Each structure stands twice: as C-alpha cells, then as structure tokens.
Structure 1
Amino acid sequence: MTGVRARGVLFDKDGTLFGFEATWSAFAAETIAELAEGVPARAAALGEALGYDLGRRRFRRDSPVIAGSNRQVAELVAAALPDASADAIEPWLAARAAEAPLAPAVPLAPLMARLRGMGLRLGVMTNDAALSAEAHLLTAGIAEVFDFVAGADSGHGAKPDPGPLRAFAAATGLSPAEVVMVGDSLHDLAAGRAAGMQVVGVLTGPAEAADLAPHADAVLPDIGHLPDWLTGASAEEAREGR
C-alpha cells in the first residue's frame, strides 16, 4: 500500500497493547500479598524491591518491573525473600501473570484488523514471558493476527537488546528500516533505534511525553492513533494527538 511509513509494526505488550496501571497495579498488590504470606515485613521488602507503593497500590515511575524481564523480576523477588529461589519464582510468576486481568489500551480487534487491511505484518515483543504474552493475546482475541510473538525467554534476548526486534524483521522478511517499533518505555525506543527501526512512543504506560519525545519519531496518546501516523500525520501532529 502506498503512502504508508512502514511495512511492519512490532508492538510492546504491557503499557502499549494493554494499559499498564489498569492491568498491573491491582494484580501486583495481590501477588505481593500472596508472596508475603501475611507478614508485613515481607510485603514491605517486596514493595521496595519491585518499586511498588503499597499504600497507593501502584508502581513508581522508576520501578525496575516496568521494563524488566520476567527473570529479572524473579531475581528481585528472590533478593527480597531469602527463602525464595529465582529459579522457582520465575515460572510461578509467568503462570501467575498469564492470569492477570487485562485492560486493553484501545479496542484491539478493530485496530488490528485495520492495520492488517493496510498490508502490515504485525508482531509483539515483550520482556514478559512468552507464556504470559500468548495467553494475554488469546484472551484479548487477537492472537491470530500476529506473525511473530516473542518474550524475553524466547531465545532472542530482551529489550533494550535489539536482537528480538531483528528476529521479527527476519521472520517477516522485512528490513529493520521498514518496521516501526511501538512501545511505552525507553527500553522499547532504545531497542528500536539500535535495531535500525522507526520508533513510536505511546502514553499508556508510566512514562510521560517529555520522557519519550527526545528518543522517538513520534509520541502518540495511544496505539489507536497509529494508523493515521502511518499514513501521513507529521510527528508534530502525532505528538499533539491530532
């Protein structure tokens, strides 16, 4: 299709396809409570390690969980709980996260159908586990539209490493320059730049426009604005949400 900035779109998952706070904040409180086993000191240690404000029931903007891999989160949990093992916690977290209640950032099925109708190849690369990613896409009813789905445990690496992004390009037969990486964090944008892709930030995660704008070709309110940007809205218009 002529007039389209890219031939492929690679999405981050949490904070991009799904609103970060609405999906993960309450879920994190429940998970911390489960791991703490009713011991306030354990809950406090977990909250501190994970950058989670137990009183406000939300992640701090500098939380290592926001862009961290499932393994990295498991290691943080294990460090906070001396009786826990990262090797044991990692698969437990992946299975637990697969059951998280999802809050789509926008109505996803019609958006993905529109992007497919534009002739685009679509993928998801998340620092979450592949098990969780696949479960979430199935629950959202959009799993079948993606040509590529990878987690940090899929063998390609984790963002900000560009390896998994290049794996999407290779799997779809596209050059990196023909792909736009869409994400809500600096890890997403750094990985996209390092892979040689176009990069678009969205504001459905903890980061603000001022955080993302210096590193992105455009910053959009959410992925619902992506089709218009792809078909010609300027970066300035996209940043303003027009």
Structure 2
Amino acid sequence: MQAPLGILFDKDGTLLEYHATWMPANHAVALELAQGDLNTAHHLLRAGGWDQATDRVASGSPLAAGDLEDIATLWQDLLPDGPDRTIDSIVAYLDSAFPANMVPTPVCNLPALLTQLQARNIALGVATADSANGLRMSLAPFDILHRFAFAVGFDSGHGRKPEPGMVHGFCAATDLPPDRIWVIGDNRHDIEMALSAGATGIGVLTGTSSAEELRAAGAAMILDSIAALPEIL
C-alpha cells in the first residue's frame, strides 16, 4: 500500500468521537421533535439505530452513517401530527438543531495532528454525511477548517456517501489521482465510497463500527484512531 499524497477524513467518528459528540444532540433533538414526549423520542432514536441499554448507536444505522435527509425520511412518519412535517422542513430543523446541541469532542489534538501531516506535504480534506453547516459549526471550535483543501457535506453538491463524488471532488481540488488518496472513516459508507472511487479505505475505531465490520467493508487498514497516523506514515 502506497503512502498517501492526500487524506480525505470523515468527520464524525473520525475527527470527532461519535458518541460523546452526537448523543447529547440526538437525545435533545428527538425530544424536541417528539414535543416533549420521552416515549416518542425513544421510539425515534431506536428507529435510528439507538440501543437504550448502552446509549450507543449501531454501525451503519441512520444515526451513525445517514445524512439529514435519511434521518428526516425515517422520522417523518413517526412524528406526532403538527405543522412543518415535510422532509424539507425536518431537514432544515435538523440542520440547525443538531449543531446547536452537539458537544464536539476531538479524538486527539487535531491542530497538532494536521500540522504534522501537512509538514509531510499531504493534502487534507474532510467529507461528511453531516451538512456543510454542521461541518463548519462542529469543527469551528478547533480552528482547523483552513487546513483543508476540500471540506464538504452531503448537501455541498458532490453527492452522498457511499457514492464516489466526494472523493472525485477532493481529487479535482488537489490535482491528485485517487489511487494516492486515503479515505479514513468509521463506517462502511466511508470505505465503500473510497473503493468506488479507486481510493484506499482506512478504518478507525473512534466511531460506531468494529474492526470486523470495517474489514468486511474492504478497509485496507484499521487504526485505533487517527492519532496513529504520524507513526504509521
């Protein structure tokens, strides 16, 4: 496996620890949509892949790997009657409410890590199933957005995971071939996106998937977290 000339990171579960970052938002948003009814909120969360006993979400589930449209489509028919229950209105609500209730929790010292990678002349990008707004709001506290040559969400015009469009966009932005790109993520959608574009998929264990699940998706390597990158490079 060749060393990368570019690395395209997933965000949630890769740059940010998934459960610490997202579970406060998942609970708050579900309860608001359920109009304060805890049973309905839990029904929404369970439909999205939440396990109440562990307060974690399943690998590949809508809450773990889906985008806002996936979640809105899933929840639309489960919500109590009320105004603004179109897919578009639910997506718009989620796009503001999720970032407002997140607790962005980095998996490591992100500025230091990205500095080390850039010192090796590795181009950096981030591609998330979150929205472009959610991407900006959740990474802004760490002052790293300027590090990325390419930063897109599901609504940025480069397609949705696991389609290859986000990888193709990164290649175009950096003038790099896909076979010299590593896509690093915590879900099978990230690995499948990499492979569909001709890139290398690298799995990390800071999200919702196990090493076995990531290997089954085709990951070429599994890392405990992206903090290991300087050592393996």
- The sequence identity of aligned pairs, in percent, is 36
Matched residue type, 1:123: G
Listed one character per residue, the Cα deviations across residues 55-88 of structure 1 (whole Å, up to 9, x for unaligned) are 5433234522211011111111212115322110
Paired residue for 2:219?
216
Deviates more, 1:37-46 or 1:96-105: 37-46
Q: Does 1:33 align with 2:31?
A: yes
Paired residue for 1:227?
230
Paired residue for 2:40?
42
- Tell me how far apart the structure 2 counterparts of residues 32 and 178 of structure 1 sit (CA, whole Å): 41
Deviates more, 1:164-173 or 1:38-47: 38-47
SS of the residue corresponding to residue 65 of structure 1 reads helix
The structural deviation recorded for 1:42 is: 2.2
- Quick check: 1:7–1:119 contact (8 Å CA) kept in 2? yes
Paired residue for 1:75?
73
The structural deviation recorded for 1:227 is: 2.1
Matched residue type, 2:55: R
How many residues end up aligned between the 2 structures? 227
The structural deviation recorded for 1:40 is: 3.7
Matched residue type, 2:96: A
- Quick check: 1:183–1:202 contact (8 Å CA) kept in 2? yes
- Quick check: 1:9–1:122 contact (8 Å CA) kept in 2? yes
User: Counterparts in 2 of 1:187-206, with a 5 A limit?
Assistant: 187-206=189-208
- Quick check: 2:111–2:143 contact (8 Å CA) kept in 1? yes
Structure 2: tracts of 5 or more residues without a match: none
| TM-score in terms of structure 1 length | 0.88
Structure 1: tracts of 5 or more residues without a match: 232-242
The structural deviation recorded for 1:26 is: 2.3
Matched residue type, 2:104: L
| TM-score in terms of structure 2 length | 0.92
Q: CA RMSD in A?
A: 1.6
Structure-2 change in CA distance of 1:31 and 1:228 (3 Å):
same
Listed one character per residue, the Cα deviations across residues 159-214 of structure 1 (whole Å, up to 9, x for unaligned) are 11011111110111101011100000111001101111111100001111111124
- Tell me how far apart the structure 1 counterparts of residues 173 and 6 of structure 2 sit (CA, whole Å): 11
